[in-house]
Amino acid sequence: MKKLFILLIFIMLNQLIAQKPKPISGYNFKFPEYEIKSTNNNIQLLLIKDDKQPITNIRLIIGGGTSVESKTGVADLTAAMLTKGAGELSALQIAESLDGIGASLSINAADDFIVANLEVLNKHLDKALEIFELIINNPTFDKRELEKIKKLAISSIIADKANPSSLASNLSKIVIYGENHPYSKFARESDIEKIEVDDLKNYYKKYLHARNMSLAIYGDYSDESIQKIKNIISKITDDKETKPIIDVPNPKPLPKGIYFIEREGSVQSTVRVLFPAPSFNDYDYETLSFNGSIIGASFTGRLFRTLREKYSFTYSPSGGLTNKRFSNYFYAAADVKEAVTDSSIEVINEQIFNLYKSEISNDELESIKKYKSGSYMMNFENSSFVAAMLQNSEFKGKKARQVESFLDRLKNIQSSQVSLSAKKFLKEDQVKIVVVGPASIKSKLEKFGKVYEYDKNIMADAGYSNSSLDSDDLLEKYNSAIGGMSNLKKIESLLTTGKGTANLQGREMPTELYEYRKSGNKLYQKLDVAGMAQQKWINENDVWINAGGMEQKMDINDAFKLESKIFGVSQLEKSDYALKVLGEKENKVALEAVSPSGTKTIYMFDSSTYLLISSSTSEQTPQGLIEIETKYLEYTKTGELTLPSKVKSTTPMFSYELNLEYKFNTNEKIEFTPSK
């Protein structure tokens, strides 16, 4: 009997232990104490006391970062050069002095600011501050040191080109923000070579301004040490007139598609699925960030549960939202098995698109809320985390009290809000996919959209072999192919008529084209799709468009000018377009034509006949930048000229295919202005 009783107790105890324990009591979270003040010269000052260790930390932010630099790479090199000579101290003396007392000072440039971090044992604080003062107030920007730093920067760029994550990250920036955007910058070797000492001095002078800075002191500091630090920065100018204005324009994302970099010998593909996202302070930022956690939360996000734990396609999936001041992007990322690259993209897309196709369950909503609140609160034992979070947020325009009230906002997030933000930002027509991997996967990517190839310098249109032709040679051969310049010059007017079908989201509709061009840059065009007509008139510098009865006068632009010419491509070499033969690929020669306003068109010519095979360009529309590709499928001889008799034009929204006929030098009764 006693034995039975003991056995029963043992079984009961085991059952008890086999159950998941419940939390023992409420969780009394208190936001760490901090103070925000302002120095006499208006530098924002954040103080967080943490006396666990006899260490003082200083974190100084200078606004602007890489987004405001005049030449790419200047902010990075300015940050690096601050410790390479100051006052009477050489770079070596600074390194030896700081290392000598075990202090660490790092200065780095990010998109929105340069940040300097000093960490030092209290017993060596005075010595460290002496050096810090020189670095902040009197950097020397020595030319010889700059040459050394440039050399290191260039080798770091070369190293990045071997790193699939760096390649994917740099290409992602271009895809999301567009070329030449402040947030899409990354230095190439040629950028570094162009940087001179004056560039750094000018950057430093312009942005080291008290109202463009913020200072955090945290750790085991004393009142006396605060005063010493304040004295160091008291000399920084607070002249209202010279306060730098920091602004970043709206992004110009590249069209939907696959952006691919071939990496020889890769055994994995580095995949990034991207969507443009709003600024750090935008109303939608936090709910979209919630979606980021649903996808990418460390061990419980949807990518971890599917891509890794269900399919074993990857070791390290991640996802989330960047946190730049003016605009951001949503990303899902993974290094996946090369053989399942396309399947992995399908899984990632499915997980993201499900965010707006159906609302998340209450269980998942609550689970992610707990994950986010826990991650937020647990970091607060670390004063450096709290300092960086408060300081960065304030600097990006989000007040510390808003940071403090994050948990209240998180608690109130509803699944409908989460779904709404997904609907707004994670739409299928906005997705851009970046892949870095071996050549073998390229063909498998085509099912996701047009594949744009980049090289390891993140230059577009990679994969061409050298061509012996320059642009003059190529256009001359093209002109000969379609009939020769002497015959082309005889054409004073050109009437083009076409019949075919348009395809709008799977619906086929009869389509007709009537197009009349006359010398002197005059064009009338009417495209009739199932009775809905779009008309266009160009009369030298005047343009009107009438779509579905709504007429609008437009500003003339480079594209309209070229379109109004009788044989526009033939005349490219006489235009203001910058022309470059990119090279040959798959029996085609590629010509890049960049208009004075920067719009790029790629013309592909047959490398044996030199007839034009296709042209592709991007056009800004209310749906963002869209890619328009026209293929010249067949050519027929009309009179002395050989002109396309079958064309297909494709945009992400619709396409049309037309059979064309031509008449030369007819006298059509056409006005090149709309009738009143």
Between 361 and 621, name the residue whose CB sits nearer to other proteins: 361
CB of 84 to other proteins, least distance (A): 10
Q: Which is nearer to other proteins, 113 or 304 (CB)?
A: 304
∠ Cα 325 331 332 (to 5°):
155
Task: Output 250 or 440, the one with its CB closest to other proteins.
Answer: 440
Min CB(388)–other proteins separation in Å: 14
For residues 20 and 240, which CB has a smaller minimum distance to other proteins in the complex? 20
Measured CA to CA in angstroms, residue 30 lies from 34, 48, 53, 380, 381 at distances of: 12, 14, 21, 9, 11
Q: Which is nearer to other proteins, 125 or 589 (CB)?
A: 125
Buried b (16+ CB within 10 A) or exposed e, 561-571: bbbbbbbebbe
Residue 266 C-beta: closest distance to other proteins, Å: 6
Q: Using the minimum distance from each CB to other proteins, give the nearer residue, 160 or 657.
A: 160
The whole-angstrom separation of Cα 470 and Cα 590 is 11
Q: Which amino acid is at 465?
A: S
Q: Residue 581: what are its φ and ψ, rounded to 5°?
A: -80, 120
Nearer to other proteins, 41 or 384 (CB): 384
CB 14, min distance to other proteins, A: 7
Distance, in Å, from the CA atom of 302 to the CA atom of 426, rounded to the nearest integer, reads 15
Given a contact cutoff of 8 angstroms between Cβ atoms, the answer to whether 61 and 220 are in contact is: no
- Residue 625 Cβ vs other proteins, minimum distance, rounded to whole Å: 32
> Residue 27 CB, nearest distance to other proteins (Å)?
5
Cross-strand pairs, 334: 271
When the beta carbons of 308 and 631 are compared against other proteins, the nearer one is 308
Q: DSSP per residue over 352-382, as a string?
A: HHHHHHSPPPHHHHHHHHHHHHHHHHHGGG-
Q: How far is CA 329 from CA 140, 251, 332, 517, 558, in A?
A: 38, 10, 10, 44, 31
- How would you classify the pairing of strands 522-529 and 507-518? antiparallel
Q: Nearest approach, Cβ of 364 to other proteins (angstroms)?
A: 10
Q: Are 128 and 98 in contact (CB under 8 A)?
A: yes
Instruction: Write a three-state SS string for 175-243.
Output: HHHCCCCHHHCCCCHHHHHCCCHHHHHHHHHHHCCHHHEEEEEEECCCHHHHHHHHHHHCCCCCCHHHC
- The least CB distance from residue 138 to other proteins, in Å, is 20
Q: How far is the CB of 57 from other proteins (least distance, A)?
A: 10
3-class DSSP assignment, residue 114: strand
Distance CA(31)–CA(29), nearest Å, equals 7
Q: Residue 149 or residue 591: which is nearer to other proteins going by CB?
A: 149
Taking the C-alpha atoms of residue 130 and residue 94, their distance in angstroms, rounded to an integer, is 10
